[in-house]
Amino acid sequence: AMLIAVFVGWRESGVVLVIIPTTILLTFFASWLMDYTINRVSLFALIFSIGILVDDAIVVVENIVRHWRMKPGRDLVQTAIEAVAEVGNPTIVATLTVIAALLPMMFVAGLMGPYMAPIPANASAAMLFSFFVAVMIAPWLLLKIGGGKHVGADSEDAGHGHGSRMGRLYRRVAAPVLKSKARSWAFLISVGVATAAVTVLFATRSVTVKLLPFDNKSELQVVVDLPEGASLEATQRVLIEAAHRLTDLPELSHIQAYVGTAAPFNFNGLVRHYYLRDRPEMGDLQVNLLPKHERDRASHEIALDIRNRLKNLETPQGTSIKVVEVPPGPPVLSTLLAEIYGPDAATRRAYAAKVREAFEAVDFVVDTDDSFGHPTQRLRIGIDQDNLEFHGVEEEAVYDTVAALFGGISVGYSHRGGGANPVEIAIRLPRSGLGPGERLLSTPLPGRSGIVELGDVVDLRYEAATFPLFRHNGRFIEMVTADLAGRFEAPIYGMFAVEDAIATLDWGEDGPPEIRYRGQPQDESHAALLWDGEWEITWTTFRDMGGAFIVALLGIYLLVVGQFRNFKLPLVILTPVPLTLIGIVIGHWLFEAPFTATSMIGFIALAGIIVRNSILLVDFIRQERRKGTPLRPALLEAGAIRFQPIFLTATAAMIGAAFILFDPIFQGLAISLVFGLASSTALTLLVIPAVYVVFRDDGSDLPES
């Protein structure tokens, strides 16, 4: 509203102040119809929408005011109708192009689909309602509160663009570019080179790619797994020692320890099956932090600090300690997950052990673990058949005795408490008496010739316990898991680093495993490594969003063809779309932010926003040409007239996005909109006229300034 007050007028800003809440309330109504709740994602969709839903209103209001100033003394209502009609068709198409860019994102597959769906759904509804509000309510309201000001108004060259300050500014910048075909070619080539050059930042990893950045939560978990068979007391000792190392964390609120029992689990724990952590060797520390506004560090920085504090903790060999953060989006079994396939269990474990070596060789791959671990020893009680027959003892007596010794015997129930909660009455040895020794082995058994001791008819031997079995879609697998912290925190960089480490290992005659990024191997006669975890969701999300972008461009192209009845002109209008990359990539580099799924949403949305500006500019160029104006004067005149509304709509969208610029999850969306709009809007007003000069130069001279 302040933006409109400064550049158009305070009465016009009052119109915008009414239009924004009206459109937002209608969007809430649409959300109710679509059965969306008000949550963090849907609210950010509305914040993102605020900047673009006033675009139609700005275009309509600005054009009405321009016509009132151009035609003083005429009937205000009729002039307003003509002004709305002038921008009506291009505004309809421009609105539909934004919707065409957003809607395909609703069809992203996997877990990210439902997570992101409220953004295109709510934003599309907001755009649709904003158009109807802009062409129906805005003109009526402007007449009510601002019409009297313009009765009999007169201003030299008002509304024509070249007389205004912004129009003169545009002419000074654009005239040198459009002076000759050679200059226009040089400008277009330099813009193309700049667009290609910024993509180098992805190759040099100055800008990294990640599914979603880390969120700033008020809780963390330290998950501890001792070797299988470890006692409850050993697990508790490790947890207590770990807790002591964290007590001087400045952001710490309190710590809860859970030993041999499952801690209350969150969404992340649901996917990782933390509710099954009920064995003696398993423990959790729930680390609760101070509220966000009471601490300077984000939870991810604190997690890195915790991991560093626990690095040299004394633990039994084979212990695994993981620092687990609450996921910012869809949770996965592990950030970096390698599934090992092979012909048999021994081969799979051997390859998994070597792959784990490769994991541990990468400095930013942390919390490495595997699915088979270190199985404990177990005591096997075997029957000595020769002695059994010699002493005349029945096998059933041996089985019953062993079951009674180790499992106890239930003899009934005590129905105290009115029978509601009966208490079992059982006879069993104390835990201290369950170890194999004289006491157990001297247990009497009935034999043919009298009493025989249990030790006379059984053999005791220790052996390695069996490994756990894991299947994925019915295929046997072993898993190597890890997290990332340090230089890179996206799985793709960890994957490439691990693959480089795999290439340096000695794999013997069978050679290294086959590396796969998608789909289980069909032939399991040779070992194969399939990357899963966060990579799977990342691949699915960016693949589907790339497809959505292509569908969006096709939809925009068809809409523009229908508007201008020309198959070549839409290509000119779509030319500025890649230019958004200049601002987007530089913005991510300046903020040291990864290019995320929300960044991609902003990139796709920008295609619709930038095209709407291009449509309005091209429409005015065609209007000037139909009047018989030579090409270069027509280009400068159209650019000078449309510079202000294009500048205002772009700035409004940037203001709307700026309020989420420091949100940990939606920062990428904000960076894409703010910096992408800044670069592409400035270039759009120069690139499209330059394309006209290059391909349709009529040799006309620039008008006198």
Residue 413 φ then ψ, to 5°:
-135, 145
The predicted-structure confidence for 156-199, as pLDDT tens digits, reads as follows 444 444 457 788 888 888 888 888 889 999 999 999 999 999 99
pLDDT given at position 152: 44
**Is residue 541 within 8 Å of residue 108, measured between CB atoms?**
yes
Average pLDDT over the chain, rounded to an integer:
87
Distance, CA of 345 to CA of 338 (rounded, Å)? 16
Per-residue confidence (pLDDT) for residue 97, from 0 to 100: 85
pLDDT band at 286 (very low <50, low <70, confident <90, very high): very high
Model confidence at 700: pLDDT above 70: no
Give the residue ranges of DSSP H helices in 510-596.
534-564, 569-574, 580-591
Q: What is the mean pLDDT of residues 453-475?
A: 90
Give the up-direction half-sphere exposure of residue 45: CA atoms within 13 A in the CB hemisphere. 28
pLDDT at 424 over 70: yes
- pLDDT tens per residue across span 335-346: 999 999 999 999
Counting residues of the chain whose pLDDT is more than 70, the rounded percentage is 96
DSSP for 122-155, please give it: HHHHHHHHHHHIIIIIHHHHHHHHHTGGGTT---
Split at pLDDT 50, 70, 90, the class of 18 is confident
Confidence (pLDDT) at 419: 62
Please tell me which residue, 415 or 142, carries the higher pLDDT value. Answer: 142
pLDDT surpassing 50 at residue 590: yes
Residues 6+ positions from 701 with CB-CB distance below 8 Å: 630, 632
Q: What is the pLDDT of residue 110?
A: 79
Q: At residue 556, does pLDDT exceed 80?
A: yes
> What is the arithmetic mean of pLDDT over 205-214?
90
Average pLDDT over residues 417-421: 65
The model's pTM: 0.80
Cβ(604)–Cβ(102) under 8 Å? yes
* Res 353: pLDDT: 94
Query: What number is the average pLDDT over the span 529-556?
Result: 90
Question: Residue 464 — pLDDT band, cuts 50, 70, 90?
Answer: confident
The lowest-confidence range among 149-153, 205-209, 507-511 is: 149-153
621 neighbors 692 (Cβ within 8 angstroms): yes
Q: In the prediction, which pLDDT does 569 show?
A: 85
Where does the pLDDT of residue 155 fall: very low under 50, low under 70, confident under 90, or very high at 90 and above?
Answer: very low
Q: How confident is residue 87, by pLDDT bands cut at 50, 70 and 90?
A: confident
Residue 154 — pLDDT band, cuts 50, 70, 90?
A: very low
| 195 phi, psi to nearest 5 deg | -65, -45
**Model confidence at 702: pLDDT above 70:** no
Give residue 266's pLDDT.
82
* Percent of the chain residues past pLDDT 90, beyond the cut: 37
Taking 70 as the threshold, does the pLDDT of residue 227 lie above it? yes
Q: How far apart are CA 20 and CA 11, in angstroms?
A: 15
Residue 40 has pLDDT above 90, yes or no: no
* DSSP β-ladder status, 475-484 and 282-289: unpaired
Mean pLDDT of 655-669: 86
Q: How does pLDDT run across 241-268, given as a tens digit for each residue?
A: 999 999 999 999 999 999 999 988 888 8
- CA distances (Å), 597 to each of 38, 300, 605, in order? 21, 19, 12
In sequence order, the β-bridge partners of residue 340 are 478, 529
SS3 category, 462: strand
Q: Is the pLDDT of residue 601 over 90?
A: no
Could you count the other beta carbons within 10 Å of the beta carbon of residue 161? 23
What element of type H or E holds 367? strand 365-370
Q: Would strands 514-516 and 528-533 be described as parallel, antiparallel, or unpaired?
A: parallel
Tell me: pLDDT of 28 over 70: yes
Rg (CA), the chain: 35
What number is the average pLDDT over the span 514-540?
92
Q: Each residue of 490-524: pLDDT tens digit?
A: 999 999 999 999 999 999 888 999 999 999 998 88
How do strand 336-341 and strand 528-533 relate by DSSP bridges? antiparallel
- Number of residues assigned to the chain: 705
Instruction: Give residue 150's pLDDT.
Output: 54
Most trustworthy range by pLDDT among 78-82, 231-235, 637-641: 231-235
Question: Can you give the three-state secondary structure of 199-225, one letter per residue?
Answer: CHHHHCCCCCECCCCCCCCCEEEEEEE
